Amino acid sequence: MSLKFPVPSTPGPAAFGRAWQVGDLLDLLAGLIALGLIVLVYEGWSGPPRVLLALAFTFFVPGRAIVSNWHQTARWSEVAISMVFSLALLTLVATITLWAHIWHPLGLFQIEAWLSLAVLSIGIVRRAGRRPDIDARQAEPW
Amino acid sequence: MTETDHLGVSDAPVAVTASKPSRSRRSATSGRRVRLRLADLLLPCGIVLWAFGVSTTNATALGPYGLPPVLPTAFWAGVALIAVSAAIELGRDHVSGWRMGLHAVTLAVMLYGTAPLVYSQGRYEWLYKTIGVVQYINANGQLNSQIDIYQNWPGFFALAAWFGKVAGVASPLAYAKWAQLAFELAALPLLYLAFDALSLTTRQRWLAVLLYTGTNWIGQDYFSPQALGTVLSLGIMAITLRWFYVGNSPARGRRGWVRRVRRADRAVPGQTASRARFPALLGFALLLIYFVLSFEHELSPYILAVQLGALAVVGLLRPRWLPLLLAAIAVGYLLPHFGFVNSRYGLLNSVGQFFSNASPPALKSGSLSAAQRLIGRSQEALSLGMWCLAIAGAWLRRRSGRPVLALLLLAFSPFLMLVILAYGQEGVLRVYLFSLPWTAALAALALAPFPAAEGGLKAEGKRKPAQALATALWVPRSESQDADQTVIFHRVAADELGQVAALAAPAADAPAGQAGRRQAGTSGAPPWDDSRIPTAQWSEGNPATAAGGSAQRHRETSPRGLQLTRRGWQTVIWLVLAAVVLIAGIIAAGLLGG
């Protein structure tokens, strides 16, 4: 494709620095949600905490894992677009398992949760690898 | 608190901030004191009043007007207080993003969280049909496409069944009544992203978000495929408008109105718009989400394709074939199921019957009670009022040279669907639903027009009477409801009243274009969109944006604290009077109904 599209100007270093912090925080939050829900599901506990964690996972975690590794979207929207990706992805996978007659919702959840954790970890590591460069650039006066 | 807020509350001269970076940084760090604003007091007071009102509500015996007559005065006072608080905050020179975010969330909780709090079970009788389908999947672990249309578009039900197992609940009844609140809250950040992509100012964005929340009477947001479809549709729109919409770039030889509108959004002189290659990965993500929408809901993908197609026809969307590709996906999914749908619902019978398809469902039913008639008329008045306000906003925006065309097309192109189908006499309701985000945006333009881009100072002066009139209008928000034939009858409109206060702001403003858009977008960035905050520093490093943004930055950041201008106080008095009238009207309506 050779079509050209306008894109916003590149944000400055302070913007990136702050984005790192927010990104780390959101990744950590997503990881905790996934881990907490895995534990509750594994132990078989039920109740409002599990419902709330399931809600947070459905609306946030898998999409956050994608956005964490996709800087183009992360710079645009950290949370809102994660929500859209999460809902779309979970709906797609759940429906495919129904169509394919392999309906195992809890097994599917385990795969999704561990995969999300893995991808989130990759995102955190990748971001940490770039941080020194960003910090050095931040030191420059603007 | 955002970085922009630091700047916003700083006492450092803002004009200097733009040209002297070192002072900028100092001001950003030294200005961490947060000035108390009136909204900081009104918001918690409103929440307390609302909570007290809800806790004392007895919803066991309802009359023909449903819940509103039994809601105590404290409830209405709480809602009115939030509306007044939002109006005052919107009227300030610097609109605080996180404060407006709190107002939007609070309003959504008040409007969509009250029913689940006071009712023991979910309202709307048709809710239980969707629960039945979810339970079918839970029981059988598979679909039967011969049962009903739901099993042919199973996306939402598969997700709900999966969610139920993960959440550890035996039935969606455990949480279904909260779905309305969850989906409305989910829509807020997506609306903000979409409005941002359309170059609305911070004030207009937040006003549009509040208007959407307050005037969405359709009730599509219950535990249903349409609710999820609406969220996915807003996500698709946000992605499309951000990455594929070209209305903010220089015009390319278009004629007349379109060219004039698009030319007005050129970047400021000296700024060379950076270009990127076709965002292939985002395009793929967009198609994937659209594919999910195609098997998730029967109607949403087609309305979305029509809206995007309208943008592509006038050259506001690139690549132009994108809507065709989207339509092909939707039709590709429909074709294998067409026989079933047509045999059950007579899909082809409604083709070409525009006026019949446009009839609201109330007219098709038999005898109606006085309460039902009043509610129906209120819904129609609200819809027509919003559309009229949108047209007024389009007219005002046309004069300020912004891409009104895009918003107009998005708001009114869904009517084309009525040529094709009736959707069980609910077609017109879905048209309103898909039109509403963009109608709300246009209405926000009517109530808070762009502050003077090109000779706009004069134009703004002309708009004052129209604004005052428009903001004095109270629109009822109503929704018929549930299995008990009860009715909730909201009245929410005070959001727009505060826009009179916007006139108190200094008229100087940023130029149109990317720089101005970016400046506007960052000063009021919401908590969920922290990536866009950075502006103060990086715009200083960018000569084009620094030059263009200083004026707007001054407007957005000049500190005011608790001080209000004379016009501001007039606004407050107007708001209080209007709130009194509103509450009195609702109580009177409730008494009459009882």
ipTM, interface predicted TM-score of the complex: 0.85
| CA distance, residue A112 to nearest chain B CA (Å) | 11
Backbone angles phi, psi at B454, to 5 degrees: -125, 100
Which has more pLDDT, B363 or B146? B146
| CA distance, residue A142 to nearest chain B CA (Å) | 6
Cβ–Cβ gap A81/B238 under 8 Å: yes
CB B54 within 8 A of CB B76: no
Residue closest to B410 by CA, chosen among B426, B422, B425, B393: B393
State the pLDDT at residue B118. 93
Please determine, for residue B521, whether its predicted confidence score (pLDDT) is greater than 60: no
CB A23 within 8 A of CB A68: yes
Nearest CA in chain B to A87: B232
For chain B, the helix, strand and coil percentages under 3-state DSSP, each to the nearest 5: 70, 5, 30
Size of interface A-B (CB pairs under 8 A): 220
Please determine, for residue B506, whether its predicted confidence score (pLDDT) is greater than 60: no
Cβ–Cβ gap A142/B537 under 8 Å: yes
State the pLDDT at residue B306. 95
Is residue A124 situated within a structural domain? Answer: yes
Task: Number of helices (H) and strands (E) in chain B: give both, helices first.
Answer: 28, 3
pLDDT band at residue B367, thresholds of 50, 70 and 90?
A: confident
pTM of the model: 0.74
> Which of A28-32, B216-220, B372-376 is modeled with the greatest confidence?
A28-32
State the pLDDT at residue A104. 95
Cβ–Cβ gap A6/B276 under 8 Å: yes
Is residue A46 situated within a structural domain? Answer: yes
* Dihedral sign from CA coordinates of B582, B585, B591, B594: negative
Q: Does A20 touch chain B (CB under 8 A)?
A: no
Task: Give the residue-averaged pLDDT of B363-373.
Answer: 73
At B449-461, the pLDDT tens digits run: 655 443 333 333 3
Please determine, for residue B503, whether its predicted confidence score (pLDDT) is greater than 50: no
Q: Write the residue in A5, A40, A79 that is nearest to B243 by C-beta.
A: A5
At A21-47, the pLDDT tens digits run: 888 899 999 999 999 999 999 999 999
- Which of A92, A101, A137, A140 is the best substitution to test chain B (most B C-beta atoms within 10 A)? A92
Which has more pLDDT, B435 or B515? B435
Please determine, for residue B409, whether its predicted confidence score (pLDDT) is greater than 70: yes
Task: Number of helices (H) and strands (E) in chain A: give both, helices first.
Answer: 5, 1
Mean residue pLDDT of chain B comes to 71
State the pLDDT at residue B580. 53
Is residue A62 situated within a structural domain? Answer: yes
At B53-67, the pLDDT tens digits run: 999 998 888 888 888
For the ranges A19-33, B490-504, B565-579, which has the lowest average pLDDT? Answer: B490-504
| CA distance, residue A11 to nearest chain B CA (Å) | 6
| CA distance, residue B549 to nearest chain A CA (Å) | 14
Residues 79-98 of A with CB under 8 A from B: 79-81, 83-85, 87-88, 90-92, 94-95, 97-98
| B583: CB partners within 8 A, 6+ apart | B73, B76, B77, B80
pLDDT band at residue B310, thresholds of 50, 70 and 90?
A: very high
Q: Does A75 touch chain B (CB under 8 A)?
A: yes
Task: Give the residue-averaged pLDDT of B131-139.
Answer: 95
Cβ–Cβ gap B143/A18 under 8 Å: no
B333 vs B325: CA distance, rounded Å: 13
CB B483 within 8 A of CB B123: yes
Is residue A63 situated within a structural domain? Answer: yes
Q: Which amino acid is at B178?
A: W
Provide the percentage of residues in chain A whose pLDDT is more than 70.
77
Is residue A8 situated within a structural domain? Answer: no
For the ranges A120-124, B111-115, B293-297, B554-558, which has the lowest average pLDDT? Answer: B554-558
At B141-180, the pLDDT tens digits run: 999 888 888 999 999 999 999 999 999 999 999 899 999 9
Is residue A78 situated within a structural domain? Answer: yes
Which has more pLDDT, B537 or B241? B241
B504 vs B334: CA distance, rounded Å: 53
Is residue A1 situated within a structural domain? Answer: no
Residues 39-68 of A with CB under 8 A from B: 40-41, 44-47, 50-51, 54-55, 57-59
Please determine, for residue B380, whether its predicted confidence score (pLDDT) is greater than 60: yes
| CA distance, residue A94 to nearest chain B CA (Å) | 6
pLDDT band at residue A129, thresholds of 50, 70 and 90?
A: confident
At B525-565, the pLDDT tens digits run: 333 333 333 333 223 233 333 333 333 333 333 333 334 45
Cβ–Cβ gap B142/A6 under 8 Å: no
State the pLDDT at residue B300. 92
Cβ–Cβ gap B534/A18 under 8 Å: yes
Please determine, for residue B587, whether its predicted confidence score (pLDDT) is greater than 60: no
pLDDT band at residue B323, thresholds of 50, 70 and 90?
A: very high
- Domain count of the fold of chain A: 1
Please determine, for residue B593, whether its predicted confidence score (pLDDT) is greater than 80: no
| B83: CB partners within 8 A, 6+ apart | B107, B492, B493, B494, B495, B497, B498, B575, B579
State the pLDDT at residue B457. 30
Please determine, for residue B126, whether its predicted confidence score (pLDDT) is greater than 70: yes
At A91-127, the pLDDT tens digits run: 999 999 999 999 999 999 999 999 999 999 999 998 8
Cβ–Cβ gap A78/B528 under 8 Å: yes
Which has more pLDDT, B36 or B289? B289
Alpha helices in B198-279 (DSSP H): 202-215, 225-243, 256-263
Is residue A36 situated within a structural domain? Answer: yes
| CA distance, residue A122 to nearest chain B CA (Å) | 19
Please determine, for residue B586, whether its predicted confidence score (pLDDT) is greater than 80: no
A44: containing domain: 14-130
pLDDT band at residue B115, thresholds of 50, 70 and 90?
A: very high
Task: Give the residue-averaged pLDDT of B92-113.
Answer: 92
Cβ–Cβ gap A98/B137 under 8 Å: yes
Please determine, for residue B572, whether its predicted confidence score (pLDDT) is greater than 60: no
Cβ–Cβ gap A51/B534 under 8 Å: no
Q: Does A71 touch chain B (CB under 8 A)?
A: no
Q: Which amino acid is at B526?
A: P
State the pLDDT at residue B303. 93
Cβ–Cβ gap A81/B239 under 8 Å: yes
